[in-house]
Structure 1
Amino acid sequence: MPRSFGIAGSAVVGFLLALQSRVNGALGTRLGDPLAASVVSFGGGLLALLVVVAASPRARRGFVRLGRAVRSGTGIRAWQCVGGVCGAFLVFSQSIAASLLGVALFTVGAVSGQVASGLVVDRLGLGSGVTRSLTVLRVTGAVLALVAIVVAVSARLGESRASLLVVLPLLAGTGVAWQQAMNGLVKQTADSAVSAATLNFATGTVALVLAFGGEILLRGFPTEWPTVPWLYVGGLLGIFVVGGSAVLVHYTGVLLLSMGIVSGQLIGALLLDLVLPVAGSHVNPGTVAGICLALLAVGVASSDTGAKVPARARSARMTNRERHDS
C-alpha cells in the first residue's frame, strides 16, 4: 500500500472519528453523563467485535498467535497489548477536564501531546516496525499541524480557561499516539485487524467500567436512556477507527497517521456543521484556514523521503557495535 493511500485512509478514519464524537457527544448530552456514554460506546463496539471473532477463524487464530508471542516473549510483551487503556484515559480526561478547560484548549492540549509523542514513537520504531528520524520536514509538519489546530479553534479559545488541568489532555494525547503504535504492533503479531481492535476495545471497556463504577457510587446510575437508535452506533464507528488505524500505522508511521486523522477530523467537523448543525455550532473562517494548514502540514511531513531503518535491524546493529566496543 503506497504511503499516499495510507494518508488518505487516515483522513477517512479522522472523518469517522469526528462522526463518532458527534454521536457520543449527543448521547452524553442526553444522559447528562459523558462517561456513561463512553461505556456504552466502548461496550457496544466490544460486543459487535466479539460476534465477528466468533464467526471469523482468522480472528481466533490471531488471538492464538498473539498468546503464543506473549508467552514466549518474542516480538511483543503483555504490557504492549493494553493500548485500549489509553483510549479510555482520553475519554476519562474529557469527562473531567473538557468542561473546565473548554473544548478548544482541551483539543489543543490533546493534539500537542499526540503530535509530539508521534515524533518520538516513530523515532523508536514502535508500531510501524521502522525508525523515522527527526528530520526538518517531519518536525516542520508537526509544528504546522499544531498551528492548524490552534487556528481552527481560535474562535473558541477565548472561552477556554487556562489551568494546570491542561496536563490531562497533554497526557491523553501522548497516550493516543502510543495506543496507535501498540495496536499496530498487535495487528502485525496477530495478523488480524479484528483481533487488534477487539483487544483494544476489551481493555478500554474494562478501564471505563471501573471508572464508571466509581461514578455510580457517587452519582447513581442514569435512569433515563434515550430511545433514538443512532445515538448508540458510536461503538460501531469506533471499530473502523481503531481497526483502520491498526492497519494504516504500518504504512504511514504514527506521526503521519495522527496528522492525517486530525485533518480528517477537521474536515468532518466542518461538513457535519454544514449538513447536520447542532445548537451552538457554526462555520467560521478559522476552521477553514485550519483545515488548509492541516493539509499543508501533512504534505510537508509526507514529502520527507529519508531512509527508514527496520527497528530490529537497527537494534541488531547497536548490539553488534556494543560488542565491538567491548
Structure 2
Amino acid sequence: MVTVPNPSHRPAFPLALGLPLALVTGLVLPLQGRINGALAVKLEDGITASVVSFTTGLVVIAAISLATPKGRSGLQSILPAVRNRSFPPYYVMAGAVGAFFVFAQSFTVGLLGVALFTVATVTGQTLSGLLVDRMGIAPGGKRSITGVRVLGSVLTVAAVAWAVSPRFGGTADVGALVLPVILPLVAGFLMSFQQAMNGTATVHYGTPIAATLVNFLAGSLVLWVALLIKLAVAGAGNPLPSEWWYYAGGPLGCIAIGLAALLVRSLGVLVTGLGMIAGQLVGSLVLDVVIPTAGTVVALPTVLGTLLTLAAIVVASLPWPRGSFPGRPGAKGR
C-alpha cells in the first residue's frame, strides 16, 4: 500500500505558477534530445550516448546531493523510507522507465521517424496520465476522470499529431509500422507512472534531489548492463568527443526530472505531463527556427498545432466548476 500525505495538504504551487513551470520543464527536453542525438551521431552508438547522458547526470546530481544541506538530508532519508516501506520498494527503479524510453527511441525512431514516434509517446503518456490520476498513486491523491479532462487529452494528442504532420512521409507501409509503434506507445504510457513514483518518493525523501539521484542511479544501472552486452557482441564505437556541450544532456535531465517530481503533487500527473508536452513542442519549434538541422520542417501546421496544444492544456487543467458554461444544467449554482 502506498503511503502519501493527505491530498489536501498540497504544496504552494497554484495552477498559475505550476503550469508555466511544467512548460519550462518541457522546454528542457528538446534541447536534451538534440544534444544526445548529436552525441549518438558522433559516437555512431545510441546506447553509449545514452550511458554518457545518464552517467553525467548521475555525477551532477550526486555532487549536488553531497554539497547541499537539503541534498544530504535527502540522502539520509532514502534508506529509512525504503526499509519502512513508506512506498513500494520497486519505486526506486522508476529510473528504469527513462532507460526504457531511451531504448525505444534508439530502436524505433529510425524506422518510424520522429513524428510518428512523438505521437505514439504522447498518446501513451496522455492515456496513462488520466489513469494514474484516477488511481491516486501520485502524492496529490485521486483526481476524477471528467469529460473536460478527457476532451483536453484528446485535443492534445490531435494537436501534437497536427504539429508534427509536416514530418510524416507518404511512402511508409502502415502494416509494417504497427508492431514498432507499440514500443514508444508503451514507453510513453510508463512515463506517467515514473512521474507519480518520483513524486511520491520526493514527499518521503523530503526533496526532489534525492528522488532524482535514485532515478539516475537506477537508469544508469540498466543502461550500463545494456552497454556491456553491446560491447561483448559488437565492440566499442567511436571515442568520446572533447567538446563540453556533448555532456550537457545529463544535467538537463536532472532539471526535468526534479521539477516534474515536484509538480505532480500540485498539478497531478495528467496536467504535469500535458504541460511538459506543450513545452516540448514550443522548445522544438524554437530550436528548429534558431538552430535548424538537416531535414527541419517549420510549416504552418507546426505553429498552429503547437498553439492548439497550449489551448488543450488550458481545457484539461482549469477546474471548470459546474455552472461555468451558460446553458448547462445547474448554471446558476452548484
Normalised by the length of structure 2, the TM-score is 0.88
Q: How many residues align structurally?
A: 306
Larger displacement relative to structure 2 (14-23 or 127-136):
127-136
Q: 1:87, 1:175 within 8 Å by CA — same for their partners in 2?
A: no
The match for 2:221 is 206
SS of match in other structure, 1:8: helix
Equivalent-residue separation in structure 2 for 1:71 and 1:229 (angstroms):
39
Q: Is 1:183 aligned to residue 198 of structure 2? A: yes
Equivalent-residue separation in structure 1 for 2:304 and 2:42 (angstroms):
32
Q: Is 1:94 aligned to residue 105 of structure 2? A: yes
The match for 1:47 is 59
1:225 Cα deviation from its structure 2 partner: 2.5
Q: 1:11, 1:260 within 8 Å by CA — same for their partners in 2?
A: yes
Of 13, 23, 30, 1:11 maps to: 23
- AA aligned to 1:95 is S
The match for 1:320 is none
- AA aligned to 2:136 is G
Normalised by the length of structure 1, the TM-score is 0.90
Equivalent-residue separation in structure 1 for 2:81 and 2:245 (angstroms):
39
Q: 1:128, 1:254 within 8 Å by CA — same for their partners in 2?
A: no
Which stretches in structure 2 are left out of the alignment for 5+ residues? 1-12, 323-334
- AA aligned to 2:142 is T
Equivalent-residue separation in structure 1 for 2:81 and 2:201 (angstroms):
10
1:280 Cα deviation from its structure 2 partner: 1.5
Equivalent-residue separation in structure 2 for 1:194 and 1:69 (angstroms):
15
Residues 306, 80 of structure 1: CA spacing in aligned structure 2 closer, same or farther, 3 A cutoff?
farther
- Moved >3 Å (runs of 4+): none
Q: Is 1:78 aligned to residue 96 of structure 2? A: no
For residues 49-86 of structure 1, the C-alpha deviation after alignment (integer angstroms, 9 at most, x for no partner) is 1111121232232233232222122x312111211000
Of 129, 132, 146, 2:140 maps to: 129
Equivalent-residue separation in structure 1 for 2:48 and 2:78 (angstroms):
31
SS of match in other structure, 1:155: helix
Equivalent-residue separation in structure 2 for 1:207 and 1:224 (angstroms):
22
The residue correspondences of 1:130-209 to structure 2 (distance < 5 A) are 130-158=141-169, 161=173, 162-209=177-224
Q: 1:137, 1:304 within 8 Å by CA — same for their partners in 2?
A: no
1:288 Cα deviation from its structure 2 partner: 0.5
Q: 1:128, 1:252 within 8 Å by CA — same for their partners in 2?
A: no
For residues 271-295 of structure 1, the C-alpha deviation after alignment (integer angstroms, 9 at most, x for no partner) is 1111111121131112111111110
The match for 1:271 is 286
Q: Which structure's residues are more often helix, by fraction? A: 1
Of 124, 130, 152, 1:113 maps to: 124
Which stretches in structure 1 are left out of the alignment for 5+ residues? 308-326
Of 68, 74, 78, 2:80 maps to: 68
Larger displacement relative to structure 2 (185-194 or 159-168):
159-168
Equivalent-residue separation in structure 1 for 2:310 and 2:45 (angstroms):
34
Equivalent-residue separation in structure 2 for 1:125 and 1:305 (angstroms):
21
Equivalent-residue separation in structure 1 for 2:39 and 2:105 (angstroms):
14
Q: 2:42, 2:238 within 8 Å by CA — same for their partners in 1?
A: no
Q: 2:35, 2:249 within 8 Å by CA — same for their partners in 1?
A: yes
Q: 1:125, 1:131 within 8 Å by CA — same for their partners in 2?
A: yes
- AA aligned to 1:227 is S
- AA aligned to 1:10 is A
SS of match in other structure, 1:223: coil
1:305 Cα deviation from its structure 2 partner: 4.7
